[in-house]
Amino acid sequence: MNPKKSELLVDVVEHIDIKKHNVVPLVEAMSKMAFSARDLARAADIYDVMLREEDCAIILCLAGSLISAGLKNVIVDLVRNNMVDAIVSTGAIIVDQDFFEALGFKHYKGDIFMNDDVLRRLAIDRIYDTYIDEDQLRVCDATCGEIADSLEPRPYSSREFIREMGRYLTRNGKNRESVVLAAFEKEVPIFCPAFSDCSAGFGLIHHQYENPDKHLSIDSAKDFLELTKIKIASKQSGLFMIGGGVPKNFAQDTVVAGDYLGFDVGMH
């Protein structure tokens, strides 16, 4: 089997528009069921309470291949409709998936049984049943490096750098359906605690390699302090968690961090 790259990168993953579907009756019906169905209905009720409480800071935690799976517009709608106050995410979601698509690239429907040696030869990356053009991903890497080259050489939180990515998209983005762009326009901070563990990391190491004496760096402790300050300043806070891992732990630990700094902070 010797397919061409153009033959595999054909069927684009389409993002669901949640506004075209009324899932409320379905979720409400699940409250009378058992196991995870009832848990989902209860989670929806808790989120409703968070939204009604005007002094509740809502932190959205994201992990997993959410945007490559077709959920980008759902997250964009949350930001644009003031339904989240801060985002803590993996770098892959923000950079490799969202920023990548904002540059005009796509994710494609693939085959979980495709020979990975063939994909490697064609420079196609695979996320389970989804394909990405590695050559296009390298453009995303390089763009992050170019943004770093344009900024003052100093330590940045990931939030500060992602804000500059949003600013870049206002001038150079190929479409407006982007979490990074929407967050920039709505002034919603995005934190990626493990920011180098994604496509941005390649651009940043290239930036530092080419500028060994004077370069930008990402300060994860600064991230932690900035998010902790949001927790301290909020009368109440709530976590909307999709997936686990670093984003979940990072957001939860702001309670301990606030207490460690001497503030009387409540639980999320």
Which pLDDT score, from 0 to 100, does residue 3 have?
Answer: 93
Which pLDDT score, from 0 to 100, does residue 197 have?
Answer: 87
Tokens of residue 263, six digits: 């503030």
Give residue-wise pLDDT tens across range 22-79: 999 999 999 999 999 999 999 999 999 999 999 999 999 999 999 999 999 999 999 9
Structural domains in the chain, sorted by start? 5-260 (3.40.910.10)
Nearest to 86 by CA among 218, 196, 237: 237
Q: How many CB atoms lie within 10 A of CB 197?
A: 14
**Residue 237 phi, psi (nearest 5):** -145, 150
CA dihedral over 170, 240, 85, 229, signed as positive or negative: negative
Give residue-wise pLDDT tens across range 199-219: 899 999 999 999 999 999 999
Which pLDDT score, from 0 to 100, does residue 49 have?
Answer: 97
- Look up tokens 């300060």; give the residue: 219
Give residue-wise pLDDT tens across range 100-116: 999 999 999 999 999 99
Which pLDDT score, from 0 to 100, does residue 206 have?
Answer: 97
For residue 1, pLDDT over 80 is answered with no
For residue 262, pLDDT over 80 is answered with yes
Give residue-wise pLDDT tens across range 157-201: 999 999 999 999 999 999 999 999 999 999 999 999 999 889 899
